[in-house]
Amino acid sequence: MNANAVVIEPPESATASVIWLHGLGANGHDFEPIVPQLPKNLTRHTRFIFPHAPQRPITINGGMVMPGWYDVFPTDFIGQPNAQELNIQQDAQGIQASDQIVRNYMAQEIERGISTERMVLAGFSQGGAIALHTGLRYPLPLAGIMALSTYLPLADTVENEIHAANRQTSIFMAHGEFDPLILLPYAQRSHAHLEKLGYNVQWHSYDMEHSVNPEEIADISQWLSARLP
């Protein structure tokens, strides 16, 4: 479909899609190995799309160019236990550019006959932030939003920009209790903010750092299977 993504086609005709975004410095191959670990009743009819983020200089990494959905600043929350605010200096322009990338993939899936109600937006770390950003603002109902080891970006604009179409959409949030990059309290504040806005958030935390573990994959499997029967 696109040289800018890893696409795993199901053995049967696709009736659903999962668009899954990787974290900073990784690429679309990062979560490819998870697909064989998911239930066969899910993977036999679901197309998995793992886009590669564009290359960009990342300020917090000394301006090094790497795959990233948006820039990260030294004043950001990362690794700061005392960061109390949801609204810290963020790369709004980069986030909005990646939002458009995701919408383009969704439009391609619609053209291929997949209803948005059979689409899940998923992501890890930066990718999860984009999944939340796009999913909450998307004007058509989605099957679900999966946000792993991440947080709610541009939280100060969410309330004014959310779309009613996804007010009832299930959100799966999961986080490592010992995550040294995006600390658990920051993710918990994002979760609380979403619940305050009235969203249905299924929250999980695990005995791990900034990663994914088998227990989480089991919970992801259950949630995805329920969203895309």
| Residue of 220, 221, 162 whose CA lies nearest to 194 | 162
Active site residue 179: yes
Q: What CA–CA distances, in Å, run from 221 to 5, 38, 41?
A: 22, 6, 10
Strands (E), the chain: 5-8, 16-21, 46-51, 55-58, 64-67, 119-124, 144-148, 170-176, 200-206
Could you give the 3-state DSSP secondary structure of residue 14?
coil
Burial class (CB in 10 A: 0-12, 13-18, 19+), 58: buried
Could you give the 3-state DSSP secondary structure of residue 97?
helix
**Cα three-residue angle 47-53-34, rounded to 5 degrees:** 40
Q: Which of the following is catalytic: 133, 175, 191, 210?
A: 210
Residues in the chain, total = 229
What is the maximum alpha-carbon separation in the chain? 49
Q: Which of the following is catalytic: 30, 179, 190, 191?
A: 179
Active site residue 76: no
| Residue of 171, 179, 169, 173 whose CA lies nearest to 210 | 179
Q: Which of the following is catalytic: 17, 98, 125, 190?
A: 125
Active site residue 210: yes
CB of 137 closer than 8 Å to CB of 161: yes
Is beta strand 144-148 parallel, antiparallel or unpaired with respect to 119-124? parallel
> Among all residues, which ones are annotated catalytic?
125, 179, 210
